[in-house]
Amino acid sequence: MATAWNTWLRVHTPRPRARIRLVCFPHAGGAASAFRDWGALLPAAIEVAVVQYPGRQDRFGDPLPQSVAELAERTAAAVGERLDRPTAFFGHSMGATVAFEAARLLQPRFPTPLVRLFASARKAPADCRPNGLRLDDDEVKELVRRLGGEGAALLENEELSRLVLPVLRHDLRMVESYRHVPGAPLTCPITVIVGKDDSSVTRADAERWSACTMAACRVRELDGGHFYFEKSPRDVMGLLVEGLLSAEAAHA
């Protein structure tokens, strides 16, 4: 039977007996495949589920959401179908904003199932401002090259570029139009992760996430740029395990 969970989430390494679930939210233009290996790299106590946004890979024909708020609302509804164990969110870049907004929607549940938010390579929601981008092909390609990552190579292939650019441009437009609406802070702790060489998010930017939660907010810097986790995935896994297991213990 088709469910919102089956439509929106991909579990590449199923672990039905895992004690905690990590839900990953990809970056603009990204897909669930960006986190395909994470489940196998993490211990058996953790199951990884990755959000598959509409308009890419096996959801290529699905209609695109028109705003970050809509994307967060539909994702929260899907995740809400399986809040059967302590759950944490990891969002990278645009995904950090989506994860935060989805967490706000799920927070009123009692007791809250959300034990931690990992916000990666993204400014705090209240600091997100439009950059005045035109988002023509050349500007989008230059932006992607500047941020780096494996996805940049896709835009160098003309055929792949024709498939990727429309979705990437759409996501970037959603990011440009996002406006934070003040509200109650989260009650779960936040871990903010930034690459030491990422010029788009500084440590000072990362520390401003502390206003988004009533709990602790910790900033961690890792070697690399905007896509730091592609080069040193095991460093990221160690940080995630530390944050997840400590959050699970506190939740219990």
Q: Catalytic residues, which ones? A: 93, 226
Sign of CA dihedral 223, 229, 233, 234: positive
At CA 249, angle to CA 243 and CA 252, rounded to 5? 135
Contact 47, 21 (CB under 8 A): yes
Tokens 């994860």 found at: 99
Pairing of strands 9-10, 87-92: unpaired
Q: What is the per-residue DSSP string for 96-144?
A: HHHHHHHHHHHTTSSS--EEEEEEES---GGG---------HHHHHHHH
Distance CA 114, CA 189 (A): 9
By CB atoms closer than 10 A (0-12, 13-18, 19+), residue 150 is exposed
Query: How far, in Å, are 37, 48, 51 from residue 8 at the CA level?
Result: 18, 13, 6
Q: Which of 104, 115, 21 is nearest to 68 (CA)?
A: 104
Parallel, antiparallel or unpaired: strands 20-25 and 87-92:
parallel
Q: How many CB atoms within 10 Å of residue 219? A: 18
